[in-house]
Amino acid sequence: MSQSRSGPSETAAEPATQRGEATKAATKAATKAATKPGGEAGESNAYAVGLPPARRRICTVIALAGLLASLVLGQVVQAPTLWGLLPILLYAVLCLLGLDIVVATVVAVISGILIAARPPTEVGELLGTSLGDLVTMIGLIIVLGAGVGEVLRVTGVADTIVSAIMRAVGERSRHAVTFGVMVACLVLVASLGTLAGALAIAAPILIPITARMGFTRSATASMMFVGGCAGLALAPFAGSNVAILTAADVDYLTYLRVGAGPLAVLSIALAMLIVPWMQRRTAAAGNDFYTAEEASDDAASAGGADRNPKAGRATAAFLVLLVVSVVYATVTNAGTAFPLLALPLLGIVTGFAGGLSSVEIAGRMYRGGARLLSIFILFWLLAALFGIIDQWLKPYDVILDTFGSQLSHLGAFPFAVAIGLLGWVGVPGATAAQVVLLDKVFGGLGATLGVSAGAWVIVLLWASKGDTYGPFPNANMIGAMGLARSQNLRNVLLTGWLVMVPACVMYAILLVFMT
């Protein structure tokens, strides 16, 4: 592969310039799409989605029919009953149709209450108890993580991490830059626990570098996408990963060793082959290069005057405390509650090291977390829903009593594969909620069939993150594409497929030995 530092030709730059306005519009729309469903930058509801009027009417009819059926069932059935699965089925159907997941959860909770036919006092007690549930705790962890992310952005820690990595790898060759871009995205996403938000910070720094090296927009999008996805799998305090640790009852090192580590290594290794192929594929067309203006450092350096002079100190404080926190949590098996202390401490220490006052730190933490308040409410409602099903309706008791002997002959491996694939059609944009839901519904059955804790880590990890790579377009793909200023979703989708298929094979082999 050529390692020439020459950029695109003038004839290639001409069409790109003519498409400037369209590219800006596409980038804006794509970034917005990436940070809505399940994203980390929503204004009031991170799961808000726009539905066509016809789809909205269908959802309304299904919800009302489900609630009416639940009201009738509440008068004629008693727990334990298989009808206790109705709230889960209603919830899944509404989510798959694209209804706002918070609204769908409210409908499912009301359905469960109507079937259980419990008095209001017991319902109130359940809702109160659910506030202290582990599921609700995960929602709070996500909110706190968003607050820390805001502090990292304001203090310049995120910019410093990306710039330091790219200076370390240099611009000696395209291979070095490809690796550096992916590592920068990996580290930043792992630190912030959010893909779209981290890539939005990294993109203005990375794009001038890739543009000067003559990379196409599609090749840059592939680097950012794969690196970001690898970082999301590794993020120690990301909500979905905390949910996996809790569900499988393993420590972070075990999670890395059997689940996230192999995926991250495979992703980066494959991308070192995929990106050059994508570069050759798109460079031949001649119309996917960055403009000379985008290859300039002027845009990136324009904000240099506003750069926090204490960003280096804040970065050192953040990274040291992050490593200490992860090591401490691993050695002491601190559990799910530890991030409730670690995350605010990370935000406070980083903020002070970055020169913020206590009032500014509190304000930034609040501003970042407030954007994801809907997620906290969602997880509280999910905790209540699971409580209604587990404590009041108990449908799984009926399933195990009726089909337990037949299910025991199914085998751990086919069961694990089936649940892993089932996650690909799960809750859109809510990976942590998806993990919790799969574990609540199938965790006990998996333990009965002999699925080990390590195998369950793989099942939940691939069920919640496998569909990030494909087989269909998703918000993370669109976000990486838009932030890289590309307009070719097909190329990002191809990148995802080229990682997804080998990853499926890898995890299938691991499950064969672990089950």
Q: What is the pLDDT of residue 238?
A: 86
Q: What is the pLDDT of residue 45?
A: 63
- Whole-Å CA distances, 504 to 262, 266, 366, 395: 12, 11, 39, 32
Rounded CA-CA distance 10/451 in Å is 59
Tokens for 267?
A: 């992703």
CA angle (195 as vertex; 189, 201 as ends), nearest 5: 75
Rounded CA-CA distance 214/295 in Å is 9
Q: What is the pLDDT of residue 425?
A: 63
Residues 6+ apart with CB under 8 A from 191: 152, 158, 161, 198, 235, 318, 322
| pLDDT (tens digit per residue) in 299-345 | 444 444 467 899 999 999 999 999 999 888 888 877 778 899 999 99
| pLDDT (tens digit per residue) in 348-363 | 999 999 999 999 999 9
- State the average pLDDT over residues 106-135: 94
| pLDDT (tens digit per residue) in 191-227 | 888 787 788 888 888 999 999 999 999 999 999 999 9
Q: What is the pLDDT of residue 88?
A: 87
Average pLDDT over the chain, rounded to an integer = 84
- Return the amino acid letter for 259: G
- State the average pLDDT over residues 453-462: 94
| pLDDT (tens digit per residue) in 464-491 | 888 889 887 777 888 888 889 888 889 9
Q: pLDDT band for position 142 (50/70/90)?
A: confident
- Return the amino acid letter for 132: G
Q: pLDDT band for position 404 (50/70/90)?
A: low
Phi, psi at 216, each rounded to 5°: -80, 165
In this prediction the pTM is: 0.76
Name the nearest CA neighbour of 32 among 21, 22, 46, 19. 46
Name the nearest CA neighbour of 380 among 157, 143, 154, 63. 143
Phi, psi at 43, each rounded to 5°: -75, -50
Asked if pLDDT for residue 4 goes beyond 80, the answer is: no
- Which secondary structure element, helix H or strand E, spans residue 498, and what is its range? helix 489-514
- State the average pLDDT over residues 246-255: 92
Q: pLDDT band for position 441 (50/70/90)?
A: confident
Q: What is the pLDDT of residue 36?
A: 41
Q: pLDDT band for position 3 (50/70/90)?
A: very low
Q: pLDDT band for position 40 (50/70/90)?
A: very low
**350 with 155: CB under 8 angstroms?**
yes
